Every structure is written in structure tokens, then in C-alpha cells.
Amino acid sequence: MTIRTVQCAHLKCEAPGLDRPPFPGPRGQRIFETVSKEAWKLWVAHQTMLINEYRLSAVDPKARKLLESHQDKFLFGEGSAPPPDFKAPSAGG
């Protein structure tokens, strides 16, 4: 079995790609073609932090637009910064 690789837009290197688009439509297809599994995993963790820190609801259209904007920056642009008050959890608790 051959592992599908992509030139990852986020990691800036060739890496194993996703098994399928993460969601339907052109946005999902673009991610499938240009984002690695590792970068997608990093995005999901970052997205979870954003949802928790900003207390976003996935059903709120404004929240979805905000996440799309952060996703574009994280995967394809200059990066997505955490909220100003965010403090990363310390190791060990």
C-alpha cells in the first residue's frame, strides 16, 4: 500500500496526507490536497483551544466564520495566535 503524500502548506515539507477531505466542498478538497495528517492534528488541537478559550458554539455562524479565519491563518498563512489571555497548561498538571 502506497502512502499518499502532500507538500504540506503548514509544515513546509512533504508529509503523509489525510485519508479523505475533512469536510465536503472546495475548502475540504484544498485541505485534503495541501495539508498533512500531522498539520491537521495540530490544527484540531489549536481549534479546540480556540473553542474553549473563546467559548465558541459550533452552531453559531459567527463562531464558524472566526474558526475558518483562524484555520486559514494556521494552515496556509502566518499562523493563528492564541487568545491574548491564553496560558498554556503547565506540564504535570
What total number of domains does the chain contain?
1
CA angle 31, 6, 71 (to 5 degrees): 25
Residue 71 structural domain: 5-76
State the pTM of this model.
Answer: 0.86
Does residue 42 fall inside a structural domain? yes
62, part of any domain:
yes
CA–CA gap between residue 7 and residue 74 (Å, rounded): 16
Considering the chain, what is the average pLDDT of its residues?
91
Give the CATH number, domain containing residue 64.
1.10.3880.10
- Please indicate, yes or no, if residue 91 is contained in any of the structural domains: no
pLDDT digits (tens, 9 = 90+) for 22-42: 999 999 999 999 999 999 999
Q: Which residue has the cell 492534528?
A: 41
In a domain, 19, yes or no: yes
In a domain, 81, yes or no: no
Q: Would 85 be classed as within a structural domain?
A: no
